[in-house]
Amino acid sequence: MSANTYSITTAIDYVNAAPHLGHAYEKIATDVMARFQRLLGKEVFFLTGSDEHGTKVEKTARARGVTPKQHTDELVEEFKKAWDYLNLTYDRFIRTTDADHYAVVEYLWRKMAAKGDIYKKRYQGLYCAGCEKFVTERDLNEAGECPNHQRKPEVVEEENYFFRLSNYKQAIQDHMKSNPGFVLPEFRATEILQMLENLEDISVSRHKDSVSWGISVPDDADQVIYVWIDALSNYITGVGFLHDAPLFAKFWPADVHMIGKDILRFHAIYWPAMLLSAELPLPRQIFAHGFININDAKISKSVGNVVSPFTLQERFDLPNPDPIRYYLMTVASFGQDGSFTEEEFKLKINADLANNLGNLLNRTLNMTNKYFEGRVPQSQFAKPGALHTQGATEVREAYEQFEFQKAAELILQLVDWANKEINDKEPWTLFKNDQIQDLGDLMYTVLETLRQVAIMLSPITPVLSDEIWSQLGYQAPLSELIPRWADITEAHIQPGQPIQLKGPILPRLDSELAGANKKK
């Protein structure tokens, strides 16, 4: 990989139910980082997809009276529809039922077996179907239940293949110590180092009497490869391993695996060990984000608190997905848990986007029409770097550190500054007193601030940023131009450019305008 490329992945979603805000949270965050890296001028590869094998899918499909493949085909379309609505810019949607993926999984198995890292033995253990893994007593809560799925694991006795995970304890410890940013946030790295202290070999197959929906073990048709070996391998399949050597050379190792905190062990221990065994490079970084809860409760079908992006689209008659993107990226510090409530969603979107940003744009353009015949005025500030250079640097640093909430806060501070400039300097008074030069300077600085805000906020709110860009008088959409991040301070809005006032960029949620379509 070169310095001008960037590869980022999401966890692939287990397709046993429709997508909800928990799935969307990770995918939006990954898209935000991909868009930001493109603004830096990098060639980006963004990989997402679906995890389709294993016990849960097989049981769910059987209960529905369809084959596992029919079931996953239907669910995959629901996920793709949701990601299209949320405006995700992924480069490949990989399915673990893809033909090229089968070949990669079988290749990795043979490599690990040839290394002497796979052996067969009889085993009795506790298996959590929800986690798709064997667990120990120390993994369970006081009631003997899996804390993630609130049910007791089943006792399983089988003759399975095992992977010599314990062989790679020292290598992973050494890698983490020499690469301190390998696992983020830092407190998650501490958790992994603690897990490594008691590392045991893991079962990496199931007998077909237990689960038949999966990839068969090479040369042993009675065994199916463990679903996590299958799933983790998607990261190299997706960038062309074995099938597209130039693509693989360009985008592996991945710069970031974006995952949920509940699957950190698999990504920070199992996956590195597999790659080391197969003599392949490790990913550069693993970021484990927190959960999005609903009204402070974990999203759960049994609880009945599942909220999908389309739920919000319909409930608030959203004109585009940016309110969902903005709220999820600002509801909590990325890496910590966040909680969604409809009331807080409405209040935050109205306050930050409809009122603060939207009203600034609307009144600024109205005054530009009134005082300068709808054109950007001349000003002493009409030069690159005249405004907000430090602010742009701070926002960039926040994005680079996955601090999306902080990035948005810093950008909104520029909006606050511009609103305060208007309130303090009173353009209507300047016009009345014939202070046209001062008025031009004021209006120019606000218009230029809006230009910079549009670029800086575009990774999070691409549709709204495009709308701001258009109303500022630019003909080509911001999303098509993909200006360099440096354009924030190395370019500027041109005096004389005609603006295009088109009305509010986002109606207030639950306002008469927002509900107009429903009333029709």
Active-site annotation, residues: 20, 23, 128, 131, 146, 149, 298, 301
Alpha-carbon span 452 to 241, nearest angstrom: 40
User: Alpha carbon of 158 to those of 122, 126, 207: distances in Å?
Assistant: 6, 11, 7
363 SS3 class: helix
DSSP-derived pairing of the beta strands 43-51 and 92-95: parallel
* Per-residue DSSP letter, 167: G
Q: Which amino acid is present at 302?
A: S
Cβ proximity of 407 and 503 under 8 Å? no
* DSSP-derived secondary structure for 342-360: HHHHHHHHIIIIIIIIHHH
**What secondary structure does DSSP assign to 275-294, as a single string?**
HHHTT-PPPS-EEEE-PEEE
CB 270 within 8 A of CB 296: no
Q: What is the DSSP string of 417-478?
A: HHHHHHHHH-HHHHHHTT-HHHHHHHHHHHHHHHHHHHHHHTTT-HHHHHHHHHHTT-SS-H
Q: Residue 247 burial by CB count (10 A; 0-12/13-18/19+): exposed, middle or buried? A: middle
